[in-house]
Structures are given as C-alpha cells and as structure tokens.
C-alpha cells in the first residue's frame, strides 16, 4: 500500500508539472490527484495499512539473553549490548561518535540531525554502559564507537546477525518495546519519563514548546534500573541472583 501511494503521488506530481508547463490542457483533470478526486473512491492509505509491530524479546527474557551475549566477543555483540541498555534505535547506535559521548558526566548527546524526531536527545549512561565504552577498540582517524571490519562504522546487519545467532527471531528495535513494557510493569516511573527515555514526542507542538525540561535526572534513575535489571539473572540452582559484568565469566 505504501508503494502504491508513492507511485500515485509521483504520477500526480508529473502530471501537475506537465500542466504547469503547458504540456497538458489546464482544464484536463489530473486522474492521479488525491484531494477532491481519488479520496472519494479509495480508502485512506493510513486506514488501509495495518500496522505491524516489531517483534520483541519479552522483557523477562532479556537478562538471560544478556547473559548469553557477555559470553561472546565482537563489535556486533557490544553494539547490541549498548543498544539494549540505552533503549536506543539501531541507527542511533551505529552512527554514534566519540564526540557525542561525555564519559565524565555519563551522557550521550545525539544531535537533532540523527534523531527521528529531529530534536537533540540526551541519553543518561548507566555505569555498565560507561564500562562497556572503556572496552571499545579505538582507531586513529575513526570517530565511530562501533568500528566495522570493512568500513569506518559497523554495518546495519551486524546486530541483527548477532541476535539471530542466539537463536532469536525478534528484531533489534523490539528491545525498545521490551524496555517500555518493563518500565510500565516493574517501575513507578511516569509514562512521561518512559516516553522521553525513548525519545518520543509527547503532547502537542504547543505543549512541547512550553516544556523546559527533559526530566534528565529522573530518566537517569530509570536507565540505571534498567541496566541493573538486564545485567542480573537468577541463578536457578541457588535461588540467588548474580550481577553480570561485561566480559565476566558466567
């Protein structure tokens, strides 16, 4: 349906250009026009397309998956761990540069140009993430956190491949959903704090223009809780819990 709507829109634009340039009679209707024409015949694209949610690992299974990840090596593994613990989008992780990272204050500032919502987003980094960053290989002249084998930065499929090697069929993006489910079910954080942690726009444009804070400290507390949750798994044989450290034996 998306492809069909794009095709219709391009035909509409071409025919409109032809009319404006005198290649078509001005009184000849544009058969591809939506407004006042096809909108009365076809269903709205937004209503015709069924939303498909990204398959997500249930949040209760994330600690076990993380336990598997820390047994493995590789840039793709570390990028996936970073993505999970920061609840970031895959593209935000892959494009992350050292200039965006303030290690001393444990903050990752993603510029507006790299954000889906075109607004700068500050991500509070839990201690586990800061520790992970200290383990990353750095290459002279390469600004990216996660360096690729053939290119300056890690490829788009690396994290997906890592996840699938663990026998999972879910998506990397789905970890954002896992974070949201966990935060709503297991914490007292407000919906506002949770949505801001995911860099979602909340409220109308007017409301956002009057909002002067991004609730950073509340978000820091929430992200630290999340990092602790995903790096702690129950030890079945003893009934105790064991905190996982990056690269630690399990």
Read off the pLDDT of residues 125-180 as tens digits, 9 standing for 90 and up. Answer: 999 999 999 999 999 999 999 999 889 999 989 999 999 999 999 999 999 999 99
- Domain borders along the chain are 2-48, 59-243
The predicted structure's pLDDT at residue 212: 63
What whole-number distance in Å separates Cα of residue 107 and Cα of residue 122? 7
| pLDDT at res. 46 | 60
- From the centroid of its chain, how far is CA 117? 12
Measured at the CA of 114, the angle between CA 147 and CA 137, to 5 degrees, comes to: 15
- What pLDDT is attached to residue 248? 44
Assign 36 a pLDDT band (cuts: 50, 70, 90): confident
Question: CATH class for domain 59-243?
Answer: mainly alpha
Neighbours of 124 (CB within 10 A): 21
Exposed, middle or buried by CB within 10 Å (0-12, 13-18, 19+), for 5? middle
Averaged confidence pLDDT in the chain: 86
Residues 172-186: tens digit of each pLDDT: 999 999 999 999 999
Model pLDDT, residue 23: 87
Residue corresponding to tokens 């001393």 = 104
Q: Which residue has the higher pLDDT, 118 or 61?
A: 61
Output the pLDDT for position 66.
95
- Specify the residue for token string 């990272």: 101
Q: Is the pLDDT of residue 210 over 60?
A: no
Lowest mean pLDDT among 21-35, 170-184, 212-226: 21-35
More confident of the two residues 220 and 156: 220
Q: Rounded to a whole number, what is the distance in angstroms from the first to the last CA of the chain?
A: 48
Per cent of the chain over pLDDT 70 is 82
13 or 209, higher pLDDT: 13
């Amino acid at each position: 349906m998306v492809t069909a709507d794009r095709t219709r829109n391009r035909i509409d634009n071409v025919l409109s250009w032809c009319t404006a340039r005198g290649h078509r009679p001005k009184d000849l209707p544009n058969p591809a026009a939506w407004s006042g024409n096809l909108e009365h015949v076809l269903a709205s694209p937004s209503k015709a397309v069924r939303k498909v949610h990204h398959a997500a690992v249930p949040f209760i299974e994330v600690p076990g998956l993380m336990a598997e990840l820390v047994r493995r090596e590789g840039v793709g593994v570390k990028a996936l761990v970073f993505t999970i613990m920061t609840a970031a989008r895959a593209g935000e992780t892959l494009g992350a540069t050292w200039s965006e990272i303030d290690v001393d204050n444990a903050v990752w500032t993603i510029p507006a140009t790299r954000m889906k919502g075109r607004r700068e987003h500050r991500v509070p980094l839990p201690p586990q993430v800061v520790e992970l960053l200290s383990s990353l290989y750095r290459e002279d002249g390469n600004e990216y956190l996660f360096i690729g084998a053939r290119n300056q930065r890690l490829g788009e499929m690396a994290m997906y491949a890592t996840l699938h090697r663990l026998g999972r069929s879910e998506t990397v993006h789905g970890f954002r959903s896992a974070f949201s489910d966990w935060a709503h079910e297991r914490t007292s954080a407000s919906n506002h704090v949770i949505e801001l942690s995911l860099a979602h726009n909340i409220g109308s444009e007017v409301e956002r223009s009057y909002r002067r804070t991004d609730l950073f400290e509340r978000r820091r507390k929430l992200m630290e809780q999340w990092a602790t949750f995903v790096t702690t798994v129950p030890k079945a044989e003893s009934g105790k819990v064991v905190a996982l450290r990056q690269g630690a034996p399990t």
